Structure 1
Amino acid sequence: MFDLHRLRLLRELKHRGTLAAVAAALSYSPSSVSQQLSQLEAEVGVPLLEPVGRRVRLTEQAEILVAHTEAVLERLERAEADIATSLTDLTGTLRIASFQTAALALVPGALTLLRDAYPRLRVHVTQNEPEKSLPALLARDFDLVIAEEYPGNPNPRPAEVEQEDLLEDPLRLARPGPTAAGSPQSGLPQPGPTDDPLAALRSLADHPWVMEPEGTAARHWAMTLCRSAGFEPDVRFESTDLLLHLRLVEQGHAAALLPDLVWGGRAPTVPLRLLPRSHASRRLFTAVRRGRSRHPALQACRQALHRASLS
């Protein structure tokens, strides 16, 4: 029978990419990880790693082993969830990763609900962009990830991950200038009957823009939207910090595309315009590893996030 600990090291190598990354994540030395994997190769009787420059990659047989290891670990996580369900109190640590606007607008309220209902549950929150946190979920660095999906840019859906919708977050064009009068119901400006979302975008074709960095889903969506309006935006400012985006709009330095969550329930401070219907909102969701969704701590966290999103 193969050693499960060594199989997990092989799985870690697949997800983290290098022996050094595996060693750092698990507090081992690289030589110790290499020695354990060499012993696993001896157990299996075939090569599991092959050199590629200064790195290594998994052989076909190693990939087979990792697939079986994933199934074993999923079953063990189901066992852990069943044990937790049989208990009368929630304890232990729940590790959450969230991107900035959800961390500001949703997570504090959810934490309050969890603290009041389960005072012995320790919740650890890390602010992280989905591009990093979702792979880290598979690597078991987090238990739950709050992530986003922009219109026309669907995320990959690995079989090892279970997603659950959280909310639809409207996206709007934020223009420099005095704040327009808001709706008494939503606090957000309402369009007039002749408003043309593409025309509003084109009116800012020669204006500086602030967007998220290249390579992010938000940047790809924003560039696609501007090009659909017939212009290439002059992106002078790049940041994943949407509060910085807002400040640059407030000070008249840039136009931006902002989600409603950035206001955190407050009245908008800049004029807002609706976007074309096909680009009007982003999808927020929670993600957990397959086999963990029945864990009572994760169920409680998802329920708390849903309640926070409605408040």
Structure 2
Amino acid sequence: MSSMRTGDAMFELRRLRMLHELALRGTIAEVAASLSYSPSTVSQQLGILEREAGVALLEPDGRRVRLTPAGRVLAAHAARALELDEGARAALAGGPSLEPVRLAAMPTAAETIVPAALTLLAAREPRLRVELAALPPEESLFELAARRFDLVIAEQYPGHTRERREGVTHELLGEDPIRIVLPPSEPPAPLRALHDRVWVMEPAGTAARQWAMQQCRAAGFEPDVRFEAADLTAHVRLVESGHAVGMLPDLIWGDAPPSTTVADLPGHPVREVFTAVRDAARSGEGIRLVRDALAEAFLSR
């Protein structure tokens, strides 16, 4: 499917996707960066779409543009047209050549689950091309809705459920225990005993950071978060070298034993590791194969 007809106008799907992206991202510059076009090309194509529609789709908003009411209506129809196109492609997939699967995974999964899954896929379906980007869940789930990726591996912490976007299905891969990590020279210690220690945590604004802060506060103290890092390997190195304590999921160790001292948190909390896929693409053969391999890799680690 490459176009959508409304009345006498035939809308090209490429231009409809630009409008859909603008509704999601908010600026022409971000649309251009996402789709690998120049901003002038995006503006030109949206201008053509506007002429085809016969109504104003964009209006000035300071130095930027925003969608008019008609623009928002057409953007909603564009999202459905993109879903139909994707659903048709998924229904036809699985023939002589499988569609590539664009996978975004949180770093801990990219380092542990994904390599094992790729090994399984290489033996089962060598025709299948899998492209991987390691991204935090906050970014990858947004980009899934924007169709940059086909499948996402993400997580959610207890009491911090991820936003459920319309047209996207979450499926649980499994549970991943979260524990206190201390320098390897130290014995295990309860959380309340770490009130005067230096902490390493993920950046402010992430679900992991919010959750970790709440654990410390529930234990009766405000943590001294001196180090921030999105890469959990940096957490491990800081703890190993004796500069900090932290909280890490078991998945960070993969098949190897922990290189730090570990201690249980109150209530033995776990984070849920899940896959997310757009409903329109869910039936695609390649996506099903990748998802099955990821589930097997998670359970066998």
> What is the TM-score of this pair, normalised by structure 1?
0.88
Deviation at 1:90, TM superposition (A): 5.1
Equivalent pair of 1:179/1:268 in contact (CA under 8 Å)? no
What are the equivalent positions in structure 2 for 1:232-247 lying under 5 Å apart? 232-247=222-237
Equivalent pair of 1:2/1:40 in contact (CA under 8 Å)? no
Deviation at 1:19, TM superposition (A): 1.2
Could you tell me which residue of structure 2 aligns to residue 3 of structure 1?
11
Q: Does 1:295 align with 2:281?
A: no
Equivalent pair of 1:210/1:255 in contact (CA under 8 Å)? yes
Equivalent pair of 2:93/2:99 in contact (CA under 8 Å)? no
| AA matched with 1:3 | F
Could you tell me which residue of structure 2 aligns to residue 183 of structure 1?
none
Partner SS, residue 291 of structure 1: helix
Could you tell me which residue of structure 2 aligns to residue 252 of structure 1?
242
Per-residue CA deviation, residues 51-88 of structure 1 (Å, 9 max, x unaligned), is: 22212121222111111111121122111111114x2x
Equivalent pair of 1:179/1:269 in contact (CA under 8 Å)? no
Distance 1:84 1:179, change over 3 A: farther
Pick aligned residue for 1:72 from 73, 81, 87: 81
What are the equivalent positions in structure 2 for 1:164-183 lying under 5 Å apart? 164-178=171-185
Structure 1 CA distance for aligned equivalents of residues 214 and 192 of structure 2: 13
| AA matched with 1:106 | I
| AA matched with 1:168 | E
Pick aligned residue for 1:207 from 197, 200, 209: 197
Could you tell me which residue of structure 1 aligns to residue 4 of structure 2?
none
Q: How many residues align?
A: 291
> What is the TM-score of this pair, normalised by structure 2?
0.91
Structure 2 CA distance for aligned equivalents of residues 269 and 36 of structure 1: 54
Structure 2 CA distance for aligned equivalents of residues 24 and 222 of structure 1: 34
Deviation at 1:92, TM superposition (A): 3.5
Deviation at 1:40, TM superposition (A): 2.1
Percentage of pairs with the same residue? 53
Partner SS, residue 103 of structure 2: strand
Q: Which runs of 5+ in 2 are unaligned?
A: 1-8
| AA matched with 1:157 | R
Equivalent pair of 2:182/2:246 in contact (CA under 8 Å)? yes
Per-residue CA deviation, residues 24-51 of structure 1 (Å, 9 max, x unaligned), is: 3333332222122222223323321122
Pick aligned residue for 2:48 from 39, 44, 47: 39
| AA matched with 2:68 | T
Structure 2 CA distance for aligned equivalents of residues 47 and 153 of structure 1: 40
Pick aligned residue for 2:161 from 154, 162, 186: 154
Q: Does 1:99 align with 2:106?
A: yes
Per-residue CA deviation, residues 223-274 of structure 1 (Å, 9 max, x unaligned), is: 1111111111001111011111112112211111010001112112222222
Structure 1 CA distance for aligned equivalents of residues 261 and 295 of structure 2: 29
Structure 2 CA distance for aligned equivalents of residues 12 and 105 of structure 1: 32
| AA matched with 1:245 | H
Equivalent pair of 1:106/1:309 in contact (CA under 8 Å)? yes
Pick aligned residue for 1:140 from 127, 147, 156: 147
Equivalent pair of 1:49/1:57 in contact (CA under 8 Å)? yes
Q: Does 1:125 align with 2:132?
A: yes
Structure 2 CA distance for aligned equivalents of residues 229 and 266 of structure 1: 30
Structure 1 CA distance for aligned equivalents of residues 246 and 204 of structure 2: 15
| AA matched with 1:134 | L
Partner SS, residue 3 of structure 1: strand
Could you tell me which residue of structure 1 aligns to residue 38 of structure 2?
29
Deviation at 1:205, TM superposition (A): 0.6
Partner SS, residue 235 of structure 1: strand
What do you get for the CA RMSD once the two structures are aligned?
1.8
Pick aligned residue for 2:275 from 274, 286, 301: 286
Partner SS, residue 247 of structure 2: strand
